[in-house]
Amino acid sequence: MPDIEFLADMNISPSTVKQLRKKGWDIVRISEILDRQSTDIKIINYAKEHNKVIITQDLDFSMLLAVRGYTKPSVINLRVQNARADFITKRIVTAVSLMEEELRDGVIVTVDETSVRYRSLPIKLA
């Protein structure tokens, strides 16, 4: 069980959040703490202020972090076709177990069906 706090975007199933909580993870869904219509920047700023890693399927978070030169928060981007909550949960657990130290430092982690990749923040744009 990681000692990192997580913020699940609205596109992350409540079932996945529930499964991760059962494993002892400190995770909340955006709808539990912010307005469901909160902007991505508001969510990023909340995560940064509260030292939470964002879990999402929305690429906008990565783009905003890159364009604005953010060093935190870390983001886990799920790029998977399989939408089953148990599969998503397993991929998140795998990614965090591989990248726990990097997630503390500030990274964008991309997770697909078979791989986990990351880029350190801030991202240098050409």
Q: What is the pLDDT of residue 126?
A: 63
Terminal CA-CA length for the chain: 37
Q: What is the pLDDT of residue 2?
A: 83
Strands 116-120 and 107-111: antiparallel
Q: pLDDT, tens digit, for every residue of 62-71?
A: 999 999 999 9
Q: What is the distance, to the nearest Å, from the Cα of residue 65 to the centroid of all Cα atoms in its chain?
A: 12
Burial of 24 (0-12, 13-18, 19+ CB in 10 A): exposed
Q: What is the pLDDT of residue 95?
A: 96
How confident is residue 55, by pLDDT bands cut at 50, 70 and 90? very high
Cβ 105 vs Cβ 120: under 8 Å: yes
User: What does the domain layout of the chain look like in residue ranges?
Assistant: 5-120
Q: What is the pLDDT of residue 124?
A: 78
∠ CA 102-116-84, rounded to 5°: 120
5-120 is classed CATH 3.40.50:
yes
Tell me which of 36 and 100 has the higher pLDDT: 100
